A and B are shown apart, each in its own frame.
Chain A
Amino acid sequence: MKQISRRGVLAGATAASVWSGGFPTIWAQNIKDVTLIHAGPPVTAIPAIGEQASKDLGFTIRMQAVENQDLLNRFLSQSTSLDVADVSISFLRYLVGRNVLQAVPLAKYKYWDKTIPLFTKGEYPDGRKASKQGISPFSVLYATGPDGQKQATEPTEWVTGIPSITNADTLGLRPDLTGRPVNSWADLISPDFKGKTALQDSPTIGVIDVAMALEARGDVKYGNKGNMTRPEIDKTIDLMMEIKKSGQFRSFWTSFDQSVNLMASGEVVIQSMWSPAVTAVRTRGIPCTFQPLKEGYRGWAYTFAPMKHLSGLKLDCFYEYMNWYSAGFQGAFIAREGYYCGVPENAKKFLTPAEWDYWYDGKPAATEIKDPFGKVMEKVGGVRDGGAFWNRMGNIAVWNSVMDEDRYLTRRWTEFITA
């Protein structure tokens, strides 16, 4: 905590010198009363980030944390009750064209040329094309015009939101309890771990983890794991029901806390998991790894987008907040949760060299590494699972998705869970 506040003061000092020079006084007086409500999931809409932003910017940012689908509901049904949205890339399938969001003109964004090419071009820094299975950030990022109601397939002057967070998910495991090395998604359904595995109970993410496992074991070959055909869904679910009946799964979890407790208590030794959940298990002193697997990762991303109703002064404030958001404080904060931001070189300014080396470069920890709330999560000498940024993000097999056949998938998934 001490480290953060020291850094916060530094950030405040640099920010103050930047912002106060930039605007006429009338602006500074007008914005005092502006409040932007920023809604997102609990792992990103963090009050400490809002407080720092308010301090640096001179207007108020209020964070509102809402879980998954409730958040999407809120965007759709009460879009004027918030101003800024953390939008999961896969939610864009529901949101674009619904007059909920507006596009961001790239001219207003300072850091576009520094944004990682995975977002801006759909490729890696070495020029390799990234996976297009599922909903890849590049495929939904650009808008055809300033209203942002339609997605463009090629780069344009407008984006549906600013790339803010991304990560590569894999299976979490208890290395002390698995009893053997795990290196494939197929291990999720391996009889070696019968009764000791868990899945996320969600037809959107859970089914992709399942597909990774089935494909790795050689049961099914998918055209696009992130957008399955009906026969592929049928085959997947039928196989999964067989595996479930054999007693493979200990549990199906729905919340972050459940996944942490399953792992920490040893009920489960291998399961689909999120990065901050792995961190949470480790801060309890229990060994837990976010295991890199040879078939690659399941990627996901968030953008930071203005709601449709913003205009005038409030919209100007949004653009200021947007540029602040990418300037590094937020990127450094979420780095300690194990997430990556859209402009890593800015985040670097707000991380200690040891933190940068650990989180982004995959080097052994030179000092103790702490989570965002000041608890030690890695001892000196420890190395991040999966290594450096591009080793992890450079190996995305499939992105989180909302499939074309999502109606059918939901029905079959319910069948699987009830079987």
Chain B
Amino acid sequence: MTAAQQAITQEAGGRATWRRPAMPSWAISWLQVSPLAIILVVLFALPTLLFLAVSFFDYDRTGIYPAFIFDNYKDLFTTPATWRLYVSSLKFAVIVWGITLVVGFSIAHFLIFHVRTAAMRTLLFLLCAVPFWTSGIIRTIAWIPFLGRNGAFNSTLIWLGLTSHPLDFLLFSDFAVIITYVHLFTLLMVGPIANAMSKIDPALLEAARDSGASRWQIMTNVVIPLSKTGIVLGSILVFTQVMGDFFVVKQMSGGQSASIVSALSTEINGMQYPPAAASAMLLVVFVAVMVAGMMRIVDVRRELVG
């Protein structure tokens, strides 16, 4: 060993020994989680606590006053609009979840099991992702001229002679909202499911086939159980997106239906912060409970680590 080499080894060794004993392993763990923890505490936990506090405040036109009253929650739970909003948002969430699950699962299955070369798979994945290079707002608005009364789709239908006058239900309707959601959120389903499927050992499928399993049996006994994590993760992403949506419902229903968040924004626009905070708390709790329920179906943490 030359002197130079010795020096390097020593230095390397020295650095390692300087790091390890000075930092107990728990400290390193803390350091590793701290960037995310700080972001979550400052940008999520603290504001949520603030909302919680403000939701009990009193208010009038000129200000909000620290208090501990339940009026805001009482108003919230006794307004029929609240229930209608949750029913309508849940309806959208369930329909969109169902469609994106079927479509997303099929796309993922095709990409992972039917496309043979990795290069082709990457290319197709990229094609799925290309629309996401433009913002969601633009992709939403782009549907309006397409679906409108004098839009491209209606004009085509009339030109083909399939209908004599434009179909009004295409735009500013639940139909328009669902189409846009599916367009926006299907990739959120494809990603996690494809990821889960790519971890399935092809030998398993071969073994199943050799043991005489039909295609359907392979699907239900092997592929779906092993993609569970991806399905649940994708479902959580789609579900929370729909429940927290503000823009799509407003644009595509033409303001005909409201979402939970758009009703909340009406309150903020009226400078009524305490009831808006109460609405926000209800939404946070509701979505948290729903997500917790989905997490119970699959232990996502264990599956992700494994």
Contact = CB atoms under 8 A, between A and B. Distances in A.
Interface residue tally on B, bucketed by range: 20 to 34
A254 B255 contact: yes
B149 A69 contact: no
Nearest to B88: A418
Contacts of A261: 144
Given A69-B269, A195-B168, A266-B149, A411 B255 contact: no
B256 A265 contact: no
Interface residue tally on A, bucketed by range: 35 or more
A238 interface: no
A390 to B, nearest CB: 33
B258 interface: yes
A406 interface: yes
A94 B81 contact: no
Contacts of B172: 250-251, 267
B258 A417 contact: yes
B267 interface: yes
A414 B258 contact: yes
B65 to A, nearest CB: 14
B235 interface: no
Interface string A246-284: 000111111000000110011100000000000000000
Given A249-B256, A410-B266, A415-B80, A265 B145 contact: yes
A165 interface: no
Contacts of B145: 265
B215 interface: no
Interface of A: 68-69, 72-73, 76, 93-94, 97-98, 195, 198, 201-204, 249-254, 261-262, 265-267, 402, 406-407, 410-411, 413-415, 417-419
11 contacts: A69-B268, A195-B168, A198-B254, A253-B255, A267-B150, A406-B61, A415-B79, A417-B263, A417-B266, A418-B81, A418-B257
Given A198-B254, A406-B270, A418-B263, 12 more contacts: A98-B62, A98-B63, A202-B269, A203-B270, A251-B254, A254-B255, A267-B148, A267-B172, A414-B267, A417-B258, A418-B257, A419-B84
Give the 5 A-B residue pairs with the shortest CB-CB distance, closest first: A252-B255, A251-B254, A69-B269, A415-B81, A410-B270
Interface of B: 61-63, 75, 79-81, 84-85, 88, 144-145, 148-151, 168, 171-172, 250, 254-258, 263, 266-272
